[in-house]
Amino acid sequence: MVSVLVTGGAGFIGSNFVRFALDAHPDWHVTTLDKLTYAGRLETLHDIIDHPRHTFVRGDVADASVAAPLVRDADIVVHFAAETHVDRSILSAGEFITTDVFGTFVLLEAAREATHLKRFIQISTDEVYGSVAEGSSLETDELKPRNPYSASKAGADRLAYSYFATYDVPVIITRASNNYGPYQFPEKVIPLFVTNLIDDLHVPLYGDGGQIRDWLHVNDHCRGVDLLIESGINGEVYNIGGGNHVRNVDLTHRILELTGKTEALIRHVADRQGHDRRYSLDTTKLQALGWAPRARFEDGLAETVGWYRTNEWWWRPIKDADPAFRAYYEKQYGKTRV
């Protein structure tokens, strides 16, 4: 049995990867390590928490007493755990440095001592490249993070590479574009807008809405990571992008159409500080290994909207019964109920 450690496995991308891994690899035993902060929730693992090839451990990646033994026992580590929301990083950068950089350091230190570790997949982001006015970012391009979140991910990204170069830890680094799909915490734009519109709440559109993002379905991301575990080259960086470049204002109108709502529910708000205008990834390197995105954005977005419609049991307690979330949201955007 192959022992696989997934950090942040009760979060959005991590939980989808745990499901994918258990389904795709009957010879894998997956251990999920998650601190269960605001965005990591046991409810997200409701259908697999008791799977016979799954173990859940509650703990912080920055706590070596918990995390290090799990790394040392693993054949594969897939490191998703991170603070990820740009808005929160602007308000409180320290938490991002602790989790994203120091937490990665703790895992890498343990990986140095892991005698049978075959892969350490460091999950990074396209945001480390900064705003890309034209063209698409190559894995060799300069990193220019422009907010505390992307800077913390760039730091972890390069720290992971240094452990490959210095200690021969079998690190592979992935940089993915904006993910979407089921179980995404409703502070992110797609689930925030969908769930707001279900309740006839305004949706906050930053600035002129002209920011461009490349949307990647979470299942395509999982497939890319899985392929790299099998066929990637240690020490290399691989971009994973969906090839779906959409302006935020156009995304907003697509969601309005899918939810049957009108433009009257759009609220224009002041643009985010240091808001990157455009991201775009060149995925030639990963596609050379045989990967390509399968989800058409139009279909994937419709399916995602449908998932939030039919799974209010998951997101409504977050938005309605979590005082911290409501206080944060109202501080950022004001009261939005119509």
Tens digits of per-residue pLDDT, 179-197? Answer: 999 999 998 899 999 999 9
293 vs 336, residue with greater confidence: 293
Label residue 199 by pLDDT band (50, 70, 90). very high
288 vs 320, residue with greater confidence: 288
Q: In this structure, is residue 284 part of a structural domain?
A: no
What's residue 337's pLDDT?
45
- C-alpha 103/C-alpha 235 separation (Å) is 20
Long-range contacts of 41-44 (CB under 8 A, 24+ apart): 41/10, 41/318, 42/10, 43/314, 43/317, 44/10, 44/11, 44/12, 44/15, 44/183, 44/314
Please indicate, yes or no, whether residues 263 and 166 belong to a single structural domain of this protein. no
Please indicate, yes or no, whether residues 140 and 25 belong to a single structural domain of this protein. yes
Label residue 326 by pLDDT band (50, 70, 90). low
- C-alpha 231/C-alpha 168 separation (Å) is 18
Please indicate, yes or no, whether residues 192 and 135 belong to a single structural domain of this protein. no
- C-alpha 78/C-alpha 98 separation (Å) is 19
Give the model confidence (pLDDT) of 124-153 as tens digits: 999 999 988 899 999 999 999 888 888 888
Please indicate, yes or no, whether residues 259 and 205 belong to a single structural domain of this protein. yes
What's residue 101's pLDDT?
87
Q: In this structure, is residue 281 part of a structural domain?
A: no
Q: Please give the mean pLDDT across all residues of the chain.
A: 91
0.75 surpassed by pTM: yes
Please indicate, yes or no, whether residues 220 and 127 belong to a single structural domain of this protein. yes
Please indicate, yes or no, whether residues 144 and 205 belong to a single structural domain of this protein. no
- CB atoms under 10 Å from CB of 262, counted, come to 10
Q: How many domains, the chain?
A: 2
88 vs 324, residue with greater confidence: 88
- Average pLDDT rounded to a whole number, residues 259-264: 96
CATH code, domain carrying 170: 3.40.50.720
What's residue 87's pLDDT?
58
**Secondary structure element (H or E) that encloses residue 164, with its range:** helix 148-167
Q: In this structure, is residue 280 part of a structural domain?
A: no
Please indicate, yes or no, whether residues 194 and 316 belong to a single structural domain of this protein. yes
Give the model confidence (pLDDT) of 156-180 as tens digits: 999 999 999 999 999 999 999 999 9
Domain that holds residue 313: 186-212+246-274+297-333
Out of 93-102, 133-142, 267-276, 313-322, the most confident range is 133-142
Label residue 270 by pLDDT band (50, 70, 90). confident
Enumerate the active-site residues. Answer: 126-127, 149
